[in-house]
Structure 1
Amino acid sequence: MTVLVTGAKGNVGRHVVKELLSGGHRVRALTRDPAGAGAVLPDGVEVATGDLAVPDSLAPALEGVTALHLITFDGGDGAPLRTGPRIARLAAKAGVRRVTVLWGGEPGPVEEAVAAEGLPWTVLQPQEFMSNALAWTGSIRTEGVVREPFGATRSAMIHEADIGAVAARTLTEDGHVGEKYMLTGPEVMDMPQKLAVLGEVLGRDIRFVELTEQQARERMRREGASQEAIDHVIGWYAAPPGEAYTVTPTVERILGRPPRTFAQWARENAEAFR
């Protein structure tokens, strides 16, 4: 089996690649920047050049591929991909027999296109990534402060490695076609609770400064986020769906072990905050 992993250098994609390799599968990693792939991807991965926003560039990468891990957002600005129909047609033409679709927070055109093309799909619907906390590394290192809006918002954050492990299983095992898997971590936490865990791991106090919605929007705009991405992110945190703060048993059912906790994630990534 040859599996093409899109977003292979991303927070989730790297773990999909690692899990597939550990299972003995041939992995082809799609990237727009093959020159920088060696510093991120492990040995044994075949690197292919392509851009989901330019779907015809995927045709060579799809040759001989039997399974596809597909992200649904543009790696450049985080906006939802609009090229789903062409990507799905290319995958079907190449003979892809299994697809995992990693949603970007809500159903979108890529999921619709994969289903319409008749590809055997599984949709992965993780809630907030634990790796989102890496956005705080600079302010924690220099000031011991985190500035974010909506401090009371609760979420059942999930470790990106658990998402990668579930993706690898659904791509290589039977019984997952047509499923939509809501993926969460094992606990529900608000911002003060997250920072308390990080502070305990780091051995220091971390202060929380709550931004207004307007301040948060202006910050994202300065950082170059598109208006669509800003509206999506702010809207999610302002009024998250019930699924975002409801722990599900899906990860344990598929992997046969409990999902990783935020404390585990914090210990693994502590050096980034020091």
Structure 2
Amino acid sequence: MIVVTGATGNVGRALVTQLTAEQAPVRGLTRSPERAGLPAAAQVARFDLSGDQPEPADLAPLLDGATGLFLHLQAVGTHTEALLEAARAGGVQHVTVLSSGTVQDGADTSHPLYVAHAELEASVTASGLAHTFLRPNAFATNSLQWAPQIRVGDTVRGPFPGAVTAPIHEADIAAVAARTFLDDGHQGAVHRLTGPEAVTTEEQIHIIGATLGRTLRFIDVPPEEVGPDLFPHVPPQILPALLASFAESVGVAPEITTTVEAVTGKPARTFAQWAQDHKNDFRP
């Protein structure tokens, strides 16, 4: 049994879907099981972060019969330590962590994304459980931040049109995660994950437009004028650091890895493929 935290999130849902397709037993954890909409073959269990800090014994039923645990920081919040203790007590043999590409040698150790994910990795290491760390860079799903603008018009406002990334499809992150549970040889591994190609912010907008059969225009907004309305998925306290990262990526070739293909046997999906998969998200 593989337990997936954040089972209704972008990566978690893809992972549950892929694991059930391979007939692996899966239990998806979510705040609202009644609205999960996960594959019928998956078990679904409630994991609510809004209550008091749980004891490991309170979480034990969630790990009953589990051998693997997919751990996503946003999905576990401050419950990480209790969940890991419950996992260890319940016989979990392997934890795969959705970490961040910000965790690397020479990184800005004050960056909030680095701090949060480095602490998560440290907690898993200290637990003594066998583990694999997935460190994706830019997520293609971050482009959904533009969906509200695209649904109502043909212009998109935002900063740094020349910022360059290699955005990765969430299904590719999930595919690598699935192999860490289903195949041998991933214990102790650190997998850095990217998409297969470099694209600028403005190019992403044009690709989405082409997928929709529309011509979209990008309007450059100075970073000092950027507010939370343009990045609704980003916690306000993290936005300044994120904008600084964007500024540093303008005109700079991003890291591109071949890890997805090496692990899964299939090449990473392009941003155009991601846009095609998500075109309904940008339609009125």
* Mapping for residues 52-67 of structure 1, pairs under 5 Å: 54-56=53-55, 57-67=58-68
* Secondary structure at 1:152 match in 2: coil
* Mapping for residues 27-66 of structure 1, pairs under 5 Å: 27-37=26-36, 40-51=37-48, 54-56=53-55, 57-66=58-67
- Structure 2 residue identity aligned to 1:261: T
Corresponding residue for 1:190? Answer: 200
CA contact (8 A) 1:85 1:110 kept: no
Please give the per-residue CA displacement for 1:38-74, whole angstroms capped at 9, x wherever unaligned: xx31111111111357454532201111100000125
CA pair 231-100 structure 1, distance change in 2 beyond 3 A:
farther
* Secondary structure at 2:199 match in 1: coil
CA contact (8 A) 2:145 2:233 kept: no
CA pair 193-224 structure 1, distance change in 2 beyond 3 A:
closer
Corresponding residue for 1:263? Answer: 272
> How far apart are the structure 2 equivalents of 1:52 and 1:229?
21
CA contact (8 A) 1:122 1:179 kept: yes
> How far apart are the structure 1 equivalents of 2:230 and 2:207?
26
1:233 to partner: Cα distance: 3.1
Say yes or no: does 1:12 pair with 2:22: no
After TM superposition, the score normalised by the length of structure 1 is 0.88
* 5+ long unaligned stretches in structure 1: 76-80
* 5+ long unaligned stretches in structure 2: 103-113
Say yes or no: does 1:68 pair with 2:69: yes
CA pair 242-211 structure 1, distance change in 2 beyond 3 A:
closer
> How far apart are the structure 1 equivalents of 2:24 and 2:75?
26
Corresponding residue for 2:109? Answer: none
> How far apart are the structure 2 equivalents of 1:32 and 1:267?
29
Q: Identity, % of aligned pairs?
A: 39
* Secondary structure at 2:164 match in 1: coil
> How far apart are the structure 1 equivalents of 2:172 and 2:59?
27
Say yes or no: does 1:99 pair with 2:95: yes
1:152 to partner: Cα distance: 1.5
Say yes or no: does 1:88 pair with 2:84: yes
- Structure 1 residue identity aligned to 2:164: R
After TM superposition, the score normalised by the length of structure 2 is 0.85
